[in-house]
Structure 1
């Protein structure tokens, strides 16, 4: 294998000093890309939420793992709460509704998502989706808008 073809490692501060690095996803919800893997179709990011209530009802066709850095959250379909320091494994295909409790002013969780994120309504019908390509597009548009330039996202793409 040609050593020049190997993509370099990524070593960045997970929580950035520059607020512009956080990409808005919904009101009071942002993500910070860490790895956008176009080879496997997955991504790693931090999810930051500064509101309480339901974020989304969704499922993943592949496994997801998470680690809570700050705050807490839960899935309505389960009787556990992911508190600061908690590790979470989400099995492929499970439908769950992420909610941040009212007593949590900020939640930040690291997620490693393989495949896609499929958004669902209350009846289980698909209402939207995200994959590594839509995440790259969201990042490029945001970074262009905030003055970092659309190419800023390239440092996270592998």
Structure 2
């Protein structure tokens, strides 16, 4: 769902140096095909096949069922959310690990959600 054009217009490409990013200065970008879902791409490391970003979902939102060809991780910063395929809810401080190929449908409760997320690996 994250297109190359979104990555190119919002991210900083990582070249091996330390980067400090004020995320308040990065705009939320709507995710194509997923109303109520937004990203702030923070870094792209093409050499290591890694993208770091913030992901936000409106209250009572849902992201379409999908999978990744890479590992994805998420650390909950705000709100309450879960996967339609499971029973647990994640709250601030919770960490989620999605192995490559896992099919999932993230959704949020009345609080919406914001997570730090990272895609790691080719694909």
- C-alpha contact (below 8 Å) 2:37/2:61 kept by paired residues: no
1:47 is aligned, of 55, 58, 77, to 55
Q: What's 1:13 paired with?
A: 22
- Structure 2 unaligned blocks of 5 or more: 1-14
What secondary structure sits across from 1:45 in the alignment?
strand
Residue 62 of structure 1: CA displacement?
Answer: 2.1
Distance (Å, rounded) in 2 between the aligned partners of 1:38 and 1:107 = 28
Q: Deviations over 1:89-146 (max 9, x none)?
A: 1112111111112x21x31100011247xxxxxxxxxxxxxx7xxxxxxxxxxxxxxx
Structure number having the greater helix percentage: 1
Residue 41 of structure 1: CA displacement?
Answer: 2.4
- Structure 1 unaligned blocks of 5 or more: 1-5, 117-130, 132-158
- C-alpha contact (below 8 Å) 1:60/1:115 kept by paired residues: no
Q: TM-score, normalised by structure 1?
A: 0.60
- Structure having the higher Rg: 1
Q: What's 1:127 paired with?
A: none
What secondary structure sits across from 2:62 in the alignment?
strand
Q: TM-score, normalised by structure 2?
A: 0.75
* Number of aligned positions between the proteins: 107
Change (3 A) 1:53 1:27: closer
What secondary structure sits across from 1:71 in the alignment?
strand
1:27 is aligned, of 20, 29, 35, to 35
Distance (Å, rounded) in 2 between the aligned partners of 1:107 and 1:37 = 25
Q: Deviations over 1:27-48 (max 9, x none)?
A: 3321111111211222010001
